[in-house]
Each structure stands twice: as C-alpha cells, then as structure tokens.
A and B are shown apart, each in its own frame.
Chain A
Amino acid sequence: MIVFHVNGKERRVDVSPDTPLLWVLREQLGLTGSKFGCGEGLCGACTVHIDGKPQRSCITPVGDVRGKRVLTIEGIPANHPLKKAWLAQEVSQCGYCQPGQIMSAVALLEKKPKPTDADIDSAMSGNLCRCGTYGRIRRAIHVASAKSASKGGRKP
C-alpha cells in the first residue's frame, strides 16, 4: 500500500510502485485532468506539483511519492488568478495541454510573482501546445501576475 496526499487528502493505493504517478491519478483516483502526451517527460501535459515543485507525473514512479503532497489541476481553485487570466485571455483551444500549462504557470508564479518574459520562456518551455496558444499563455501569466501584485502580492 502506498500512502500519499493528493489535493489535501490522504490517498492509499495498492499498485506496483513503479507505476507512474500519472496513471495512478487517472485510473485509480479518477483525476483525469492530468494528461498523457508522451510518457517521457517531453511534453508537460502530465505536470503536477510534488511537495510544491512542478514534476512530470508520467515519469514519476508512484513509489517515489510516498508521504508526499501532490497537487493536480483539480486542486487549483476556480478563483485562482491564473485560472481567471486563462479565461480572460481565452487561452484554450483543444484544451488538452492546458492543465499541464496551468500547473507549470502556478509553480512559476509561486517562485517568481513578477516573472519576466525570459522567466516565462524557461519555466514554460517544457510544456508543448500543438494548437499554438503560447502567446496567450504568456499574456495570461503576465495578467495574473499583475493582478496578484495589485492585491499586495497575495500568494495565489
């Protein structure tokens, strides 16, 4: 039995410890917001936070997250400045990569509340988008950052 926390709740799963966290989230826990895109950590569609850091859940064995805190797209509140900015900037097209994009962006703003374009390039270049929403993602991150800053730098 492997025990860890997902979106604030303790979860216990009985799977082989080499099973990637992504498939445990999707198949055992019914959290299908994290997506399968490459299985090699190349596209970022499966991005979740593990103990606060963005990680590729498709290459993270669930055995490695024992006792850790996992945050998925389902755990990001609807009123999060980034989710609001994503809607305001009308970022999504097919939408498949967007949960992973948002998870990477959330991690970026937690680390750097006022990211530069170069910060965005380096934090977001692990997340592929085949529909080409990069320009809007960049705008949404800047907008969310400005909104958070204007509210006194409140942690998103």
Chain B
Amino acid sequence: MSGGSKISRRQFLKKSALAGGGLLLACHLPFGSRDAQAAAGAAFAPNAFLRVGTDGSVTIIVNKSEMGQGVYTSLPMLLAEELCCDWKRVSFQAAPVADAYNHASFGPIMVTGGSSSVRSEWERLSLAGAAAREMLIAAAAEEWHVVPCLCRAENGIVHGPAGKQLTFGQLAKRAAKMPLPKEPTLKSGAKKLLGKPLKRLDSPAKINGTALFGIDVHLPGMLTAVIARPPVFGGRVKSLDAAKAKALPGVRDVVTIREGVAVVADGFWPALKGRDLLEIVWDEGEGGHISTAAMHEEYARLAATPGLMARKDGDAPGVLEKAKQRLDAEYELPYLAHATMEPLNCFVDLKSDSCLIRTGSQFQTMDRNAAAAVAGLKPEQVTLETTFLGGGFGRRACTGSDFVIEAVQVAKAIGRPVKVIRTREDDMRAGYYRPMWLNKVSACLDEQGLPLAWHHRIVGQSIIAGTPFERVMVENGIDHTSVEGAADTPYAIPNLQVELHSPKNAVPVLWWRSVGHSHTAFVMESFLDELAHKAGQDPYQYRRALLAKHPRTLKVLETAAVKGDWGKPLPKGWGRGIAVHESFGSFIAQVAELSLDDRGNIRVRRVVCAVDCGRIVNPDTIKAQMESGITFGLSAALHGAITLKNGRVEQGNFDSYPLVRMAAMPRVEVHIIASNEPPGGVGEPGVPPIAPAVANALFAACGARLRSLPLTTEKIKAALNKG
C-alpha cells in the first residue's frame, strides 16, 4: 500500500486507452528465481509459477484471483503452451502473497483488476514456460549425451535422436539441476493450446459444491460474527446496551470496533439474532444530511461552471457560442452497487506473532498490509490465502480494505479465530459504489451534419482521491478514471473540450466493472446518436464517418451492424440501437434489439456483440466474458440505482436492487475478430456499450430519448406521455 510510487494504472490506462491498446509491458520480466521452498515438495520448481512432479504432474501457480473470468485456465494455458506439457496433467494453485506474484506492470502489489490479467502475464508466463522447457530438454540431452538442439518437447515428453523418449516426470529431478536459461526462446510455429476453446479447469469444483469461497472457510473452534453498522456513512456508536444479545444462546461476545458493533456467536444465525437484540444509539455526525437528490442539484450547479481541463482540441466553447443551432443535454447516472453474489466476508486467525487471513481478495498486498497495521504486526507476519471469489467486479479490490480491516478488529477483540459475514443488506449499504455522475454536453454540427464542436463537463466523485493511488493516478487534479472514454474518444471532432469537477462527500466510491467507461460510454454513445438524429443521418453510418482513422473500432462497428441485421425491418414497437466503445485495450460494438409495450415496459430481445481483443488465449472465455459484461451492464441499464435519503441507503436486497433474471435475458451472439494485435482485456470491456445500445434502441422504437439511467418503466412512460 505504501509502495504506491510505481503503481501505474494511470500509465497503463494512458497506454491502453490513448495509445491504441498496447501490450502492457515491452520489457522482459523476471519470472522469479528457482523456488527453493517449493522445490522441497516438487521435483522441478524452476520459477515461482511452475512445479513439475516426478509423476509428470504440472502445477501452475496463478497470481490472479479467480472471480469468474477464467484466469485459472487462461493463465495456465499461456505457460503450458511454451512448456509443451500434456494439458491433461495441468492443475492450478492460487499464489500466496509474495513479491514474485506482484502485478507485472501496476507496481509492487499483487492485484487483479483493470482487465489486465492476460495482458500483463502473457510475456512473463510464456517465458516461464519456455525456460522450464529448455531445462527439461537440457536434462534429457545430458542423459543421452547429445546436444540439446537434437531434442524437442511435446505433450509432456522430450524426444531425442533414434526415437529416444523421456517424460517430464522422469526428467524432473535432473532438470532441477540445470542452469536457468538467461534468455529463453519462445516457440515458433503453430500454437497447440492458445486460441482453442479449452474447458475451464475450475468448472468441476464449481458444480459439485466443493469450490472453496471465502464464506465457506471453516476452522474448528472458529466463531462467526455479524456487525451492526451505523445507519449513515461516518456514524459512530454513541451508546450500547448489549445485555439482551449477550443473553441469547450461542452468542459468545459483543465487541465494539471502529465500524460498529460486532456480535460474535457459534454460528451465523445466533449472531444475526443477537444483532437484532442490540440497543445502539448512534452518533450520526454529518452523515444524516446526505441525499442523492440534493447531491444532484449540487452537481447541476457545478456543471454550469468551468471545471479542470481534461482535453482541449480547438475551441469548443467559442465555436458553440457562434453556432446557429446547438444541442444541449444532461445525462445522469446513479450510484451503483457491485452486488457480488457472495456477500463480503473474511476469515481471520490472529495470534500474537502471526495472522492468517482467508478471503476472496482482488487486492492481496493492500489487504495484507492493512491487516498488519490493524493487528500491530509486520506485513510479513500476515499470511493471506486467496479463495475463490463469488464475484469481484472491483468490490474485492477495495482501496479501504474495509471487509478485511473490520474482521481483523473483531479477531483482535475476541482473541479467537473468526469469520465475519455481511448480510446482503450489510453488503449493499456499506458503500464503495460506482460514483453517481452528471454529464453536461453541448455540441454543434458542420455543414455535412458532423460534429464541429463538443463541450463536455463531467461531475462526480473521484474514486482515487484520498487513496494511496492519488499521488500517481491523479494528475493536475484530473482523475483519469473519471474521464476515460470521453477525454480519449476516437471520434473525429475538431473542437473538443472535456472538463471535470470532482466534488467530495462521505459516500465511499470505488471502481465498478469498467470503471469510468461505465458512465462515459453511455454519454458519448447516446449523445452521438442524438447528433446523428439531428443531422438526419443513420446512427451507424454517422459513426463510420467519424471513425475513418480507427480501423479496429470501425471493424467491430461494421461487424456488429452486419451480424446484427442493421437496417433490416423490425415489427412495430421494436427498435434497434448501436454503440461502440474502446476500453482496456479492446474494441467492442453491440447492437441491441428491443420491444416496447404500450405500458412502457421494454424487453431486450437480442444483443449482437463484436469484439477485437487482439491475440487471444481462449475464445470461449472471451465469449463468456462478453455475455457476462452485457448481462451485468444490462442490469445497470434497466434497474441499477443506489439512492440515499437522510443519509440512509434506500436499497438493501435484490427486491430493491433488482438484477436481470433468466426471463429477461436477451439472446446474445458474440463475434470475435481475428487479430494479431497485442492482447486486450475482456473482463470489463463488454459492459460499457450495452446501456447506450439499449437507450438508442429505445429511441429507435418510440422516439423517446432517455438521458437518465436506469431506463425504468416510469421514466419511459413519462417520456412517452410527454412526446
């Protein structure tokens, strides 16, 4: 956490978003030296990422958290391709927290995020596999007294002259004694694994109930706790009467921590019942005054004033002033909860000189260090074991390490191993939301109807300000994650100005799958549709004209349009909308088709998605991630909103914060563009285009332009009655 100086998400974003999406690293990375500790258990452990047993088993250590995106398969594929092992002998293991497993380009921390896993590990894992292959070949060559170049590895076997063969298992011990190659050579020729839809290695455990999530962690003698949290952000316990709770059978203790009051019990149920019996008077501080309605008014006032400059080409305000006709619009987006299916939880076993944490974290180094600080230990005295994550979406990469810190405090207070579990309501009301945003946009058109000037003001909290990342990720007051997707738009607009206001308030905010793109894509792609309509042009052709210099963006746009039957007739009351957006080094276009009934209910029927994410590892994973991003984004587009009144979050569970369900799920078709470009991300980029594609489809269906998410039936009805 303290080592933030090299954390370069901003640099990475700059590279990936502004320089057209490059491979994260161009230099050769160290992949860890011979792992002596691990070598004790495995015959051949040439680096931090690989163990080969004498039985030929191959264990690949994965330094990324598995939260649905398939890293326990895609990352092993990268190493195994170069190792030339038998894929059927490959298994995975979650990496511990150690320097060798730090992010390849974000700096000295172990973290999973930014759709960066494949991109950042491609080279390192390929080299790690190649080096191990060369050592296995060298071992065989020594055994046979031949030169290594007469030997080759394939499918877990080294083949030598005259039909000689030795398996990796047979060679493991001798290979361990071979010198580490300084500059391993990557394979040439056709790939054996990469580009193939190999089955996920973690699927069997996930369908038989054995996959261990944080909430499943159990230790004999462990207690379970739930925490009563203040009803408003920043609230504190004023007084507590815990007598009734303590009297409840199964309740072992009630302790006050910084965040609230923890009820510790033999199990979840007595803890929860005990919590209901607590009598707490809260000091609400200033938190009770927060309301999103008032916040919106404040944001609107700010949007009327100049902000910090994030992009300035030409003179947009000057051109707009002289324009005969202009379009002005305000787009609003609410706070959003990540709502991972597995509510946040954390297991802690704290001793006087050590601490064991088991949890689903995307942010291991930060969480470990935060735990050490609370426990009064050195970071190296804290062991953090990463379980499966029942969804992450950024929530488990918490800049405040909230769910870890509270659990360590409880463990410290009770002196027993404890698992803290949040109820759904705890999880949803405890903050760290996608910020609420207001975007004010004005534009005017040239004689061809194309945008001549675009003036854009963005208002919303910075997710980076006040965190250890601020020093490196906020530049001249601009948090790049607030303006990404707008300030770096590929559209050819001669006069473009993007400004930013970053108001502060007590509502904790965080990166939410696709981060800034989750709001900017909605604004850019909706307003561009408005301009096309104003110009009397087809929204697809309009975009094409503005993307002439961006062939990859153009290609996905055209692919989605063709595959999505753009221009073909639809039944009455149906509409088709298109959107395209680049994020995390990948280019995605989506065409959404929906139907609208006369009561204002929409039903998204079909989504056609084209993706160019550069060179690929596993096409089925890419498809799955697009399906996933679309569904996730659709829940936000149709339903998602966290609102506050008198400081209280008004949503709590899936009745008040609905998600898309089976019956509302559209048919999704994904088309992957063949590409030799550097790899791009896939976990997040599927999210941004869906909300504008749906909003544009709604406009196409009925002429109602909704500039506020979510697209609720009430808003649609109101727009229809107005129009």
Establish whether residues A130 and B202, one from each chain, have CB atoms under 8 Å apart when the complex forms: no
CB <8 Å contact, A136 and B627: yes
- The answer, yes or no, to whether B628 is at the interface (CB within 8 Å) is yes
The reply to whether the CB of A38 lies closer than 8 angstroms to some CB of chain B is: yes
| Residues of chain B whose beta carbon lies under 8 Å from any beta carbon of chain A | 66-70, 197, 199-200, 202-213, 215-216, 218, 224, 249-250, 267-270, 339-343, 388-393, 421, 423-424, 620, 624, 627-632, 635, 653-655, 659-663, 665, 667-668
A34 touches B (CB below 8 Å): yes
With A32-B209, A90-B200, A131-B631 already in contact, the answer to whether A40 and B269 are too (CB < 8 A) is: no
Name, among A23, A28, A132, the residue most crowded by chain B CB atoms within 10 Å (CB to CB): A132
Provide the residues of chain B in CB contact with A32, threshold 8 Å.
209, 212, 215-216, 218
Subset of 20 A-B contacts with CB under 8 Å: A15-B269, A32-B212, A35-B341, A36-B421, A40-B653, A83-B207, A86-B207, A92-B202, A92-B206, A92-B207, A93-B70, A94-B341, A95-B390, A96-B213, A98-B206, A125-B662, A128-B659, A131-B628, A131-B632, A134-B660
Interface 0/1 of A2-38, CB less than 8 Å to B? 0000000000000110111001001110111111111
Report the nearest B residue to A124, measured CB to CB. B662
B212 / chain A contacts, CB cutoff of 8 Å: 32
Cβ B268 vs Cβ A27 within 8 A: yes
Number of interface residues of A (CB under 8 A): 60
With an 8 A cutoff between CB atoms, is A45 at the interface? yes
Chain B residues in 8 Å Cβ range of A28: 267
Interface SS, B side: loop
9 shortest interchain CB distances as A-B pairs: A33-B209, A132-B631, A95-B206, A96-B390, A93-B68, A94-B68, A121-B663, A134-B665, A32-B216
Asked whether, in the complex, the Cβ of B200 is within 8 Å of the Cβ of A92, the reply is yes
Tell me whether chain A's interface is mostly helix, strand or loop, or mixed: loop
Shortest Cβ distance from residue B421 to the other chain A in the assembled complex, whole angstroms: 7
Does A69 belong to the interface (CB within 8 Å)? no
Q: Which residues of A contact B70 (CB under 8 A)?
A: 93
Who on chain B is nearest to A123 by CB?
B662
Give A contacts to B, CB under 8 Å.
Answer: 15-16, 18-20, 23, 26-28, 30-40, 42-43, 45, 72-74, 76, 78, 83, 86-87, 90-99, 102, 120-122, 124-138
The distance in angstroms between the C-alpha atoms of A43 and B427, with both chains bound, is 15
**Contact indicator B390/A33 (Cβ below 8 Å):** no
Q: A133-B628, A136-B627 are in contact. Are A30 and B203 (CB under 8 A)?
A: no
A107 CB to nearest B CB, Å: 14
Contacts of B421 in A (CB 8 A): 36
Given contacts A39-B423, A74-B208, A87-B199, contact A132 B249 (CB under 8 A): no
CB distance from B172 to the nearest CB of A (A): 30
Provided the pairs A86-B207, A93-B68, A131-B631 are in contact, do residues A42 and B653 lie with their beta carbons within 8 angstroms? Answer: yes
Partner of A38, one of B204, B654, B660: B654
Q: Tell me if A43 and B341 are in contact (CB < 8 A).
A: yes
Q: How far is the CA of A40 from the CA of B657 in the complex (A)?
A: 13
- Selected from B341, B393, B632, the residue in CB contact (under 8 A) with A37 is B341
